[in-house]
């Protein structure tokens, strides 16, 4: 393997970027030598966070600016020159089509010379890689404010389910769960639905005195994240035995499991007998196991009924690191292919 | 009854205003003599339409301006002076609390002298009166872009259900039906839901070539009415036998019936034995009987299972005329009370 030391100089680095709607993170890692085992912990030289880089939200100029800045600052923090960059992987929210990839690629090509390998993906791909440590295989389920299920096969096919926003039925998302909690309060108040503990708990948490005030509160600010912030209230009511809150969470579990199953089926990730093993990477606040009512575990239990080989993974590294590992594994593949 | 001819001069008029989020309509009617029977057709002296007068949407100045203008123009069109106005009833969208009523009242008081009787209500009240010909009793169900159920008892108690907007679960509204139609297309496309005729019919009607484009279409313009405009597509798919579309409509029927039942129960409109007779006024595009899949009739059939005395009414006059009849009946009550 002497040739690798020629191709991978010790001072070379890779960059991983997780460009989301809420924040953008870049990590800089040394170019690890080819090996089946990654060092633990991973050697992160520098890490920088900034704001939104979804160009659908902030526009192309601001998105390009943010992406350029986090990479530049991560390099500076790592004490590394731009010329040391060997490969970059960006997982950027809003990248859904080849033309989106080309657009972001053209921005990054303006900054780095042609010999730098650049890989552009959707941010769900970085999240998947954060669980599989750089291997692009399996399914990732992200459930934060929004929700999406994204899957890849080893031969490069991909599929997604959900991720279409609240109007188009992302009912398992944090927004979906919280909006149903709010709806349950309105329905209990006007007589359409059963009484629920959610009424007092949600009103308390919002500092409101009557369900009548919920309409004004809801439409005063259209931000999805503001609604989704009520998920812990729904979870705590469910834990206290409230039936309405339990129904909302059970419904969300079914929704999320259904989006995973749809991806697994379309990609045949579990093989024809549906028993093959495949990773399911779980990311986002809704799936974090911080309560006795553990939505993530329930989703997996639900998926396991159909696909007994589903292997849940809660990532130990962040998506930006996943992107860096992805850049690394793509580069290694190219180097190995060049040696054949 | 000689005293009435003294109190109701032949040249006096009443104004009825329906102030909605989409449009504002004012009608001018002669002050009819007290009688148990209204003339058919009603003598409308003038009618004028203008834009939105919901001050939550356009601001107080614009709302006040619009309301003032439609009344002035209706009088001018009727060839009647302002001094001939005896009573006005305004049903204005966005009026939900006594302080809202006071606000609108203060605007109208600026225009008309103190002897003019002014009555301010929510626009649902004008819709109810358009079905009951000025009697404030029963339940009105409005289902257009949004949906609301509003009820009144003869002794002045009132209650509402739904009308909280799409985030808070107005699933029986035009917006709710259409959003579920769009969601069904996304779910069929990503493998979470069954195939449906809605896919080709909705894409055709929007001029899109793939369900992938629906996300962009949906979030490009947040207007609820734009989504709700797809209701006829869902109805035609249901009529053609599509199961998914039928489920969406059946669900909407349950939702709308549940909002009527909630109001009827809270107000005991059907009496303690649940068998008493009461009007259910049906208003709005979703409830119009223009298809073989008749949502309005299905809603009534559903309400009748619980309340056998529900009497459906599809108004023959518009809500502005309902408001004028309401002004007339309020005034008659006051005159009669003054004679006791």
pLDDT score at A284: 92
> Is residue A170 a contact partner of residue A176, using CB atoms and an 8 Å limit?
yes
**Which residues, 6 or more positions from B58, have their beta carbon under 8 angstroms from its beta carbon?**
B51, B52, B66
Closest partner residue to A191 among B165, B182, B262, by Cβ?
Answer: B262
Is the pLDDT assigned to residue B70 strictly greater than 90?
yes
Q: What is the pLDDT of residues B187-213, one digit of tens each?
A: 999 999 999 999 999 999 999 999 989
Q: What percent of chain A has pLDDT over 90?
A: 79
Inter-chain touch B161–A191, beta carbons under 8 Å: yes
Judge whether A2-133+317-339 and A137-314 match in fold: yes
Q: What DSSP string runs through A152-183?
A: E-TTS-EEEEE-S-TTTT-TTSHHHHHHHHHH
Q: What is the largest CA-CA distance in chain A?
A: 76
The phi and psi torsions of A6 (rounded to 5 degrees) equal: -70, -40
> Is residue A178 a contact partner of residue A229, using CB atoms and an 8 Å limit?
yes
Comparing alpha-carbon positions, the chain B residue that sits nearest to A227 is B167
Closest partner residue to B262 among A162, A190, A214, by Cβ?
Answer: A190
B27: β partners: B16, B47
Inter-chain touch B162–A258, beta carbons under 8 Å: no
pLDDT score at B271: 94
Separation of alpha carbons A169 and B172, rounded Å: 15
What is the domain class of B137-314 according to CATH? alpha beta
Nearest-CA distance B17 → chain A (Å): 25
Ranges A218-227, B245-254, B298-307, B315-324: which has the least confidence: A218-227
Comparing alpha-carbon positions, the chain B residue that sits nearest to A211 is B164
- Provide the b/e sequence for A236-275 (b: ≥16 CB within 10 Å): bbbeeebebbbebbeebbebbbbbbbbbbbbbebbeeeee
B140: β partners: B150, B281
Separation of alpha carbons B180 and A142, rounded Å: 23
Nearest-CA distance B130 → chain A (Å): 24
| Residue A94 confidence class, pLDDT cut points 50, 70, 90 | confident
**Cα–Cα nearest to B174, from B205, B125, B141, B207:** B141
Q: For the domain A2-133+317-339, what is the CATH code? A: 3.30.420.40
Instruction: Give B194: exposed, middle or buried? Use CB within 10 Å, 0-12, 13-18, 19+.
Output: exposed
Separation of alpha carbons A186 and B84, rounded Å: 44
DSSP H helical ranges for chain A: 2-7, 55-58, 60-78, 98-109, 123-132, 174-190, 198-206, 212-220, 224-228, 231-239, 243-267, 295-306, 319-339
Separation of alpha carbons A73 and A48, rounded Å: 7
Is the pLDDT assigned to residue A168 strictly greater than 70?
yes
Is the pLDDT assigned to residue B63 strictly greater than 70?
yes
Separation of alpha carbons B162 and B251, rounded Å: 15
CA distances from B160 to A113, B258, B277 (A): 65, 12, 19
Residue-averaged pLDDT of chain A: 92
Separation of alpha carbons A277 and A6, rounded Å: 37
Tokens describing residue A8: 């991978």
Q: What is the pLDDT of residues A226-260, one digit of tens each?
A: 999 999 999 999 999 999 999 999 999 999 999 99
Nearest-CA distance B162 → chain A (Å): 7
| Residue A10 confidence class, pLDDT cut points 50, 70, 90 | low
Inter-chain touch B179–A164, beta carbons under 8 Å: no
Q: Please report the sign of the dihedral spanned by the C-alpha atoms of residue B206, residue B247, residue B305, residue A183.
A: negative
B225-236: average pLDDT: 95
Ranges A70-74, A106-110, B30-34: which has the least confidence: B30-34
Q: Please report the sign of the dihedral spanned by the C-alpha atoms of residue A227, residue B20, residue A188, residue B250.
A: negative
**Assembly ipTM:** 0.89
B306-319: average pLDDT: 97
A4-11: average pLDDT: 53
Residue-averaged pLDDT of chain B: 92
> Is residue B33 a contact partner of residue B330, using CB atoms and an 8 Å limit?
no
Is the pLDDT assigned to residue A166 strictly greater than 90?
no
Please give the residue that has the higher pLDDT: either B98 or A206. Answer: A206
pLDDT score at B21: 78
Inter-chain touch B168–A214, beta carbons under 8 Å: yes
pLDDT score at B3: 42
Nearest-CA distance A23 → chain B (Å): 21
pLDDT score at A1: 40
pLDDT score at A35: 77
Q: What is the pLDDT of residues A254-299, one digit of tens each?
A: 999 999 999 999 999 999 999 999 999 999 999 987 789 999 999 9
Is the pLDDT assigned to residue A112 strictly greater than 80?
yes
Is the pLDDT assigned to residue B6 strictly greater than 50?
no
Comparing alpha-carbon positions, the chain B residue that sits nearest to A175 is B167
Label each residue of B218-269 as H, E or C: HHHCCCHHHHHCCHHHHHHHHHCCCHHHHHHHHHHHHHHHHHHHHHHHHHCC
Comparing alpha-carbon positions, the chain B residue that sits nearest to A262 is B191
Closest partner residue to A165 among B166, B215, B261, by Cβ?
Answer: B215
pLDDT score at A329: 93
Residues of B in contact with A218 (CB under 8 A): 164-165, 167-168
Comparing alpha-carbon positions, the chain A residue that sits nearest to B220 is A56
Give the number of beta-carbon pairs within 8 Å between A and B.
94
Inter-chain touch B162–A190, beta carbons under 8 Å: yes
| Residue A9 confidence class, pLDDT cut points 50, 70, 90 | low
Domain spans, chain A:
2-133+317-339, 137-314
| Residue A5 confidence class, pLDDT cut points 50, 70, 90 | very low
Task: Report how far Cα A81 is from the mean position of its chain's Cα atoms.
Answer: 30
Over its C-alpha atoms, chain A yields an Rg (Å, rounded) of 22
Nearest-CA distance A9 → chain B (Å): 43
The Cα angle at residue B304 between residues B303 and B310, in degrees rounded to 5: 90
Is the pLDDT assigned to residue B219 strictly greater than 90?
no
Q: What is the pLDDT of residues B9-59, one digit of tens each?
A: 558 999 999 998 789 999 999 998 887 788 989 999 999 999 989 887 788
> Is residue A223 a contact partner of residue A166, using CB atoms and an 8 Å limit?
no
Is the pLDDT assigned to residue A145 strictly greater than 60?
yes
pLDDT score at A22: 80
> Is residue B180 a contact partner of residue B193, using CB atoms and an 8 Å limit?
no
- Rounded to two decimals, what is the model's pTM? 0.90
Inter-chain touch A168–B222, beta carbons under 8 Å: no
> Is residue A199 a contact partner of residue A188, using CB atoms and an 8 Å limit?
yes
Q: What is the pLDDT of residues B132-176, one digit of tens each?
A: 999 999 999 999 989 999 999 999 899 999 988 888 989 999 999
**Cα–Cα nearest to A325, from A148, A67, A159, A131:** A131
């Amino acid at each position: 393997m002497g040739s690798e030391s020629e191709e991978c100089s010790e001072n070379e680095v890779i960059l991983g970027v997780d460009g989301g709607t809420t924040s953008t993170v870049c990590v800089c890692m040394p170019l690890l030598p080819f090996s089946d085992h990654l060092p633990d912990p991973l050697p992160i030289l520098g890490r920088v966070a900034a704001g939104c880089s979804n160009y659908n939200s902030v526009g192309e100029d601001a998105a390009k600016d943010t992406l350029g800045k986090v990479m530049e600052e991560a390099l500076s923090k790592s004490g590394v020159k731009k010329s040391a960059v060997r490969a970059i992987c960006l997982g950027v929210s809003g990248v859904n089509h080849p033309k989106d990839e080309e657009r972001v690629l053209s921005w990054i090509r303006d900054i780095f010379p042609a010999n730098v390998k650049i890989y552009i993906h959707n941010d769900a791909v970085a999240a998947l890689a954060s669980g599989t440590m750089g291997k692009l295989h399996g399914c990732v389920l992200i459930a934060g404010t929004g929700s999406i299920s994204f899957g890849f096969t080893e031969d490069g096919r991909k599929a997604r389910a959900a991720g279409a926003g609240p109007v188009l039925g992302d009912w398992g998302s944090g927004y979906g769960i919280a909006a149903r909690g709010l709806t349950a309060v309105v329905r209990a108040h006007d007589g359409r639905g059963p009484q629920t503990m959610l009424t007092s708990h949600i009103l308390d948490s919002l500092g409101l005195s009557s369900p009548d005030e919920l309409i004004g509160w809801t439409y005063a600010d259209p931000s999805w994240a503001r609604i989704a912030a009520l998920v812990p209230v729904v979870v705590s009511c469910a834990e206290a035995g409230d039936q309405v809150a339990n129904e909302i969470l059970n419904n969300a579990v079914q929704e999320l499991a259904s989006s995973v199953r749809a991806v697994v089926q379309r990609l045949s990730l579990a093989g024809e007998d549906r028993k093959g093993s495949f990773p399911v990477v779980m990311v986002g606040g809704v799936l974090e196991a911080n309560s006795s009512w553990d939505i993530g575990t329930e989703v997996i239990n639900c998926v396991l009924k159909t696909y007994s080989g589903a292997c849940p993974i809660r990532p130990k590294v962040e998506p930006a690191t996943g992107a860096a590992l992805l850049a690394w594994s793509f580069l290694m593949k190219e180097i190995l292919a060049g040696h054949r």
